[in-house]
Amino acid sequence: MELLKLVTVKEAKEIIEKNISFKPGIEKISILNSLGRILAEDIYAPENVPDFRKSTVDGYAVISSDVFGASESLPAILKLVGEVKIGTEPTLDIMPGECMYVPTGGMLPKSADTVVMIEYTEKLDDETILVNKPAAPFQNIIEIGEDVKKGELILKKGTKLRPYEIGVLSSLGILEVEVYKKVKVGIISTGDEIVDPKEKINKGQVRDINSYLLYSLCLEEGAEPVLYGIVKDDYEKLREKLQAAISECDLVLMSGGSSAGNKDETLRVIGSFENSNIFIHGVAIRPGKPTIVGKVGDKFIFGLPGHPLACAAIFKTLVIHYLDRIKNFEREEYPVECRFAVNYHKAEGRAEFLPISIKEAEGKLIAYPTYYESGLISRFAKSFGYVYIEKELEGISEGQIVKVYKF
Ligand SMILES: Nc1nc2c(c(=O)[nH]1)N[C@H]1C(S)=C(S)[C@@H](COP(=O)(O)OP(=O)(O)OC[C@H]3O[C@@H](n4cnc5c(N)ncnc54)[C@H](O)[C@@H]3O)O[C@H]1N2
Ligand code: MOO
């Protein structure tokens, strides 16, 4: 396979960014359907949360100076003037020397500045409460706007919505949000030996893994995958399928060719469209070297290597980068730090995407490389994640601390 100049992963990402012209559309959806979607608008709080001063305990709303220095031997004696009903505004206020019963979440009477927990009080009679512990000002109280301040930029455009952000939206009464439309991703597997897993398989053939792998990776990334099936190594058929995928989708992922040489078929097919452009033909990464990145009109086409691990590695490094950039999504990753179990030499001149399994030994996390062949899917499934080894490094030494990124 004659590859053009290999670009580094960093260069590949820059080339992808520079050539983005597609912008996903925006749609308004119910927050109940918004899990995992990326916000396409800044959200400012239309009101304070909470918009009343509330108690965080069951107890008595008091004025702190009235209970200053109170103890079991010398309790503060307060007049009970009423009870706050949860969910309603108190109809009374308290004066010095008075208190009012307030449940957890109840609104405080205006002059109260603290709440004494019921455990630290004694009810002498219907009108008299003994307080045997002092309470500092603002103790057991949530102030107006303490959770969210009116006018605050509470969620930024580009935020990925998790259950917690969705909770914030509902607390503000925002029940619909603008998010980026799901990117429609066409998936084409190629290769004479690839068989639909629903069919009988003969010696020399393999069941299609990449369609299923890519489909699931797309779902995980909030995209909308569309399967175009398996295409035999045939220029015309491949061109037909690619044409259909380009016209129906926003992005196309093709995987495999048939060993060395035929990858050029993918290249030739992408290049055969009017307004096509090929930016990358070969990336300095292992696995994943025979990668093609091009564009037809404003639709990106990724020609991914056939080996499932190589295919997934390029999805994780380059396809995800493209998906993030078109949605202004700043991905935050927090890798697990582990001690590397062995001495590992990587291939020269290429960065490496090395699957890892993690074991715990004597309270320490140990990272074991699980990859030796990019065609072995089961090793991949046993891995927790991967270590990314920069192109310039020789490898990793036993005992070295490495960062393991979750799959
Ligand atoms: N002489 C050379 N041979 C190879 C080179 C090279 O530089 N010179 N590179 C190797 C590398 S690295 C890779 S990766 C593969 C990539 O080849 P292709 O992208 O053309 O992919 P195929 O040859 O079609 O497939 C490779 C391998 O993966 C299996 N495969 C393909 N598609 C699927 C699928 N959908 N599901 C499951 N398995 C699939 C296929 O049967 C092959 O076993 O080339 C090396 N060779
Ligand atoms: O890209 Mo290939 O998977 O290095 O074997």
Residues 103, 168, single domain; the answer is: no
Residue 36 covered by a domain = yes
Q: How far is CA 105 from CA 48, 90, 311, in A?
A: 16, 13, 53
What pLDDT shows up at residue 376?
A: 72
Please check whether residue 47 is in contact with residue 150, taking contact to mean a CB–CB distance below 8 angstroms: yes
Closest to 84 measured CA to CA, from 49, 57, 109, 66: 109
pLDDT at 374: 59
**Residue 148 placed within a domain:** no
Q: How many domains does the chain have?
A: 4
Residues belonging to the chain: 407
Instruction: Identify whether residues 202 and 282 lie together within a single domain.
Output: yes
Q: Residue 363 C-alpha to ligand 1 middle, in angstroms?
A: 40
pLDDT in tens, 37-54: 999 999 999 999 999 999
**Residue ranges of the chain whose pLDDT lies below 50:** 1-3, 258
For the question of whether the overall pTM of this predicted structure is more than 0.80, the answer is yes
d(CA 309, CA 303): 14
Give yes or no: residues 187 and 319 share one domain.
yes
Which listed ligand is nearest to 292 at the C-alpha? 1
CA of 325 to the centre of ligand 1 (A): 28
For 113, the domain range is 54-142
SS (HEC) of 340-382 = ECCCEECCCCCEEEEEEEEEEECCEEEEEECCCCCCCHHHHHC
* Beta strand pairing call for 292-296 and 276-281: antiparallel
Q: Find the 312 Cα to ligand 2 centroid distance in Å.
A: 11
> Last residue of a domain, which of 279, 302, 327?
327
Residues 315 and 388 in one domain: no
- 160 inside domain: yes
Pocket-forming residues, ligand 2, beta carbon under 6 Å: 286-290, 305, 307, 310, 374
308 Cβ inside 6 Å of ligand 1: yes
Chosen domain end from 268, 299, 327:
327
What pLDDT shows up at residue 257?
72
CA–CA distance, 78 with 96 (Å, rounded to integer): 9
Same domain, 38 and 63: no
Radius of gyration of the chain (CA): 31
Choose the final residue of a domain: 300, 327, 354.
Answer: 327
Smallest CA separation from ligand 2 atom 5, residue: 287
* Distance in Å, CA 307 to ligand 1 centroid: 5
The DSSP element (H or E) to which 235 belongs, if any, is helix 235-248
Cα–Cα distance for residue pair 181/35, rounded to 1 Å: 13
Give CA 292 to chain center in angstroms: 27
CB distance 189 to ligand 1 below 6 Å: yes
Query: Considering the domain boundaries, does residue 322 fall inside one?
Result: yes
| Whether residues 187 and 313 fall in one domain | yes
How far, in Å, is the centroid of ligand 1 from the Cα of 361? 37
pLDDT of residue 370: 87
Q: What is the ipTM of this complex?
A: 0.94
**Model confidence over 363-405: pLDDT tens digits?**
999 999 986 665 677 878 889 999 999 999 999 999 999 999 9
